[in-house]
Structure 1
């Protein structure tokens, strides 16, 4: 009994010590301050509060600036009015934009688009160029000419600025520096505002588009193609994008990947692409074979609505012939669209213009004629096929011409239906009698032993 009582007495201090340590730990912990406070506001609500607070603070600052400087209040009010709409546009672009979905898939080796050009073919194409063709006009040429017409004191060497608010001029001079060094990231918000301005061409001129980086040109094309009207974006394509693309091809003998992407984005509005890039390029009379191959690859890879392709073919067939026009015609014909007879007749007239041509036509001309005959031989009139045979006696290629003649001779004419001898020929009768066989008349089969 004494030993048992000693054990109980000896274990008692350990129990009390553990309890005392546990209680001391609880007492030694200092209560955290955030546990005594109320529940924090959610992150989404706090961000909204901060936005409202910043907006109110900005309004106060703008009112003070307007009182101090009334001249700049007009532009500040316009900027504040469009700030909310601009923020909405930027958020839509960041999430999921229609023009972003229009982009195609590129290979890793497509950083530069390059094609091997035969020198003999290039010399032959040059014989069809328009000699002494005027230099292509750019946006800078148009704005400078407009300023010089209004102010005769401007020197020829100067690059004058249009008459705008000094603050606007200073702002977009800074945007010009950013655009010349742009590589990746968000575009300046002031640049997006250009699409909402009435004198957007003058403001765009201040940003010096001829000095933009290739990536900045791609982003500008994406923004303008989405927000500008067809007539406005057509002028941007013709006076800004096309001269830059041609200059890059002329200097580097290939096209930068970002500029190639910009051309693909420009097809987001195919009507503006035709009027701003394709038609001016062919009408210039100086389109090289390399330029035609690179821009033609855009037409080949991208999907173009049928009506816009028909309009493009109709205009190409009726305009003055250049060496590379046949390449664009061939590219559009290979899309195999069902075209109206008016377009087909215009293409027939286009090829028949060369029946009295003394010059030797390039191979691409014969290839475009072969493509036309292969795709639409059943929709040609009998007279058109006879005219083509006359044409091929004067313009002949030892490899392509026999193929064209073979396609013309073995095809029906427009309006004719394909003959089915099983349905139309009455002399053909169908045999319905069953075949009689003699089951005992079995031929001998040789065995392997024989």
Structure 2
């Protein structure tokens, strides 16, 4: 038997290291040639590492979340033959001890991490909890010194909807203690609640009006923030700590645009993408940027330089299973409505299935964020650093609108937009959003060239 060492490959892009975001195998697993062993992330692109050989996994070179240098050993596989390294020269990791079925269970405090990982989502008591931690039957004594019933024995219960039976004195005590007798088990005939039953209920620490049998869930599950979620966290921290945000919210009447969108969709060709709101909003932003090019910019706050771009490269914030990514519609100023819709759909799909390239996920100069039907009434979007503006789309809903004489139903939508207040004054932010509002409320003007 020999050993084959797989090193962190050079995945291009001029990187020196990559973050290990997922293991697909563990020590002792058999692997086949071309089987995916691990996934690493560079910037926002995830790369899968396949196995070049067949064998048994002997060693893993890091934990999820670690940065692995290009060329460093990633994992080692025992193979038939000589392999590409000397297996005897490499220390083998200690093999886990086989569990002794007759060995006593360890205290729960010593196995906290394991029990959290292996315990089913439904919860419940750990099977290996120490005897001292298990609930033991105990007897209590009433103020009169009489032994009461065993706590572990089920009390007689009443049918759902039946009025609990109790003496007036018991009802008075329960009312003063804030206890709902419907949740107290009675041990007397026909489920009658006695003073002793009420004492047991209060001794159990039940909150007023709740069932005593409902135990608190004190589990804590820890997980490491890695991969795309870690990069999102870092980017959000930079944006909020370095950019003084100003958020401006304006409502837009959408009836005319929705009528136009519906009419165009009924006439579209089979090879054309169905129109959503986003292509119209993107083109309206392009028109507004012509009048205020300072909004289409990146601010290098370390150098004190604003890079104002001529090309409009619009990031489209897209939710995926792993987190938020921002594919970029490049040179939106060159696109018509249908090509814009097609490019948005293509990039959104690539972002969701993880096939978007690094070039498609970088280089934006202004961003659109939308939560679709979950968009809420208003939001405070975080600027995509180092950009200076982000346009947020909220959900559309029919609301009464005053036309000067009466209230009429109208399709309304709020735009929630944030700006870097170091570069964009409140007045300029308001002018920009108002211009977009005008274009969306009179959608034909989006397509009229000046």
TM over 0.5: no
TM range (shorter): under 0.3
- Structure having the higher Rg: 1
In the superposition, the TM-score normalised over structure 1's length comes to 0.20
In the superposition, the TM-score normalised over structure 2's length comes to 0.20
Which has the larger strand fraction?
Answer: 2
